[in-house]
Amino acid sequence: MPLTNSIYNSPVFQQACNQFDAAADILGMEAGVRERTKQPRRTLTVTLPVRMDDGRVLTYEGYRVQHNISTGPAKGGIRFHHDVTLGEVAALAMWMSWKCSLVGLPFGGAKGGVVVNARDMSTGELERLSRRYMQEIATFIGPQLDIPAPDVGTNEQVMAWMMDTYSNHVGHYDPGVITGKPIALGGSLGRREATGEGVAWFTKAYLTDLGIKASETSVIIQGFGNVGSETALALSAWGAKIIGISDFTGGVYNKAGINVKDALAYIAANKSLQGYKGGDSLTNDELLVQPCTVLIPAALERVITDKNAGKLQCRLIAEGANGPTTNEADKIIAERGDIELIPDVLCNSGGVIVSYFEWLQNQSAYYWSKEEVFEKLHRMLAKAKASVDETKAKYKCSRRTAALVLGIARVAEAKAKRGLFP
């Protein structure tokens, strides 16, 4: 029997479960293995009192969900966002399991989150929150147990504070506990660019399959954080034209092309895209349905829905974000038949792949060049693309379901072979 009254119940968790079921049906997965493969393994909820600069103590709620620890230490980022929910973190943890498994990493899947609007915090407040969160989850994670990383709202500096807090907890420098660190603290060259580099790599590869050249490619990117901006830089360096970008304040559209470096300099100076004069301003919703060759959602979940899927005017969707497309939108896109979609677990896997490289470098204390990192990254991406396309042809299913079939099958097999304990 499927679990009912789950604490994870929410539209986004249901979305991830429905995706899982479609793949498990193809695999003919038997009920006992199906439920234990689908449900998160364990969850820690923490209460985080933080002293604000004005002396008040505000209390935040945080989570760490380990979805799968059967195929290796759990792996996945930590999100700081005011809309974080436990159900969302659980869905994101589930996607990490399939992503790591699909690309062949020796990891399970996890995700963490804190319900907070970190934009409104001072640096000191953010540091105290980051350290408090790590202190509370320190006994639940570790280099051989669960290895966090950045996600929406967290960055290299947050990883540095967390690594320092954990190292103090265990009594020695222990960089392998977290990835996405600054280079000076055991970070990997190329990790900052990795997710965007991977999104751009898949975009180029699928456009090439479609016979579309860089000079004919226009790109709209929704979300201009680490993933969106690195993808934009990589695709514009390739020769594609970036015609639309957005952040939480809204979007900018310019048919003639947006200068990505100029937009990034504006954000560095003004903290957001608001007021940027590089094109016409429009809302995030309007941006998604403008004509372009490639649409890249690179922010949060559930932005391509049954409301706008019929109106999309792109040839290719590259999911830089996790879970940007609802189940209903997937159906509409499949029925339309004129849009190729690179699913999140494949498309944004570059980030966790280079996190794996960072962890390996930390284990051996021997560091690689950026060329070496990218060469190994591209090789893994090419292998994953080939196996997804082969599986898609074999089962005549969507590319998302094909990617999930591959990711889920390995986890289910590991669970079945390990058996139940006791």
Which residues are annotated as catalytic? Answer: 111
Shortest reach from residue 48's CB to ligand GLU, in Å: 20
Q: Which is nearer to ligand GLU, 223 or 351 (CB)?
A: 351
Backbone angles phi, psi at 278, to 5 degrees: -75, 5
The verdict on 351 binding ligand GLU (CB under 6 A) reads yes
Shortest reach from residue 307's CB to ligand GLU, in Å: 25
Q: Which is nearer to ligand GLU, 149 or 260 (CB)?
A: 149
Shortest reach from residue 159's CB to ligand GLU, in Å: 10
The verdict on 397 binding ligand GLU (CB under 6 A) reads no
Q: Which stretch binds ligand GLU (CB under 6 A): 71-79, 209-217, 242-250, 399-407?
A: 71-79
The whole-angstrom separation of Cα 135 and Cα 126 is 14
Q: Which is nearer to ligand GLU, 105 or 312 (CB)?
A: 105
Q: Per-residue x/- mask for ligand GLU, residues 186 to 205, rule CB under 6 A?
A: --------------------
The verdict on 75 binding ligand GLU (CB under 6 A) reads yes
Q: Which stretch binds ligand GLU (CB under 6 A): 11-19, 39-47, 73-81, 218-226?
A: 73-81
Touching ligand GLU, residues 306-325 (CB under 6 A)? 322
Residue 147: helix, strand or coil by DSSP? strand
**Count of residues of this chain found to bind ligand GLU when the rule CB under 6 A is applied:** 11
Nearest residue (beta carbon) to ligand GLU = 77
Among 62, 76, 87, 187, binds ligand GLU (CB under 6 A): 76
Among 125, 127, 146, 151, binds ligand GLU (CB under 6 A): 151
Q: Which stretch binds ligand GLU (CB under 6 A): 70-78, 208-216, 266-274, 413-421?
A: 70-78
Q: Which is nearer to ligand GLU, 188 or 284 (CB)?
A: 188
Q: Which stretch binds ligand GLU (CB under 6 A): 232-240, 345-353, 360-368, 402-410?
A: 345-353
The verdict on 361 binding ligand GLU (CB under 6 A) reads no
Q: Which stretch binds ligand GLU (CB under 6 A): 75-83, 287-295, 382-390, 399-407?
A: 75-83
Q: If DSSP states are collapsed to H, E and C, what string results for the chain?
A: CCCCCCCCCCHHHHHHHHHHHHHHHHHCCCHHHHHHHHCCCEEEEEEEEEECCCCCEEEEEEEEEEEECCCCCEECCEEEECCCCHHHHHHHHHHHHHHHHHCCCCCCEEEEEEECCHHHCCHHHHHHHHHHHHHHHCCCCECCCEECCECCCCCHHHHHHHHHHHHHHHCCCCHHHCCCCCHHHCCCCCHHHHHHHHHHHHHHHHHHHCCCCHHHCEEEEECCCHHHHHHHHHHHHHCCEEEEEEECCEEEECCCCCCHHHHHHHHHHHCCCCCCCCCEEECHHHHHCCCCCEEEECCCCCCECCCCHHHCCCCEEECCCCCCECHHHHHHHHHHCCCEEECHHHHCCHHHHHHHHHHHHHHHCCCCCHHHHHHHHHHHHHHHHHHHHHHHHHHCCCHHHHHHHHHHHHHHHHHHHHCCCC
The verdict on 228 binding ligand GLU (CB under 6 A) reads no
Binding site for ligand GLU (CB under 6 A): 75-77, 149, 151, 179, 322, 348, 351-352, 355
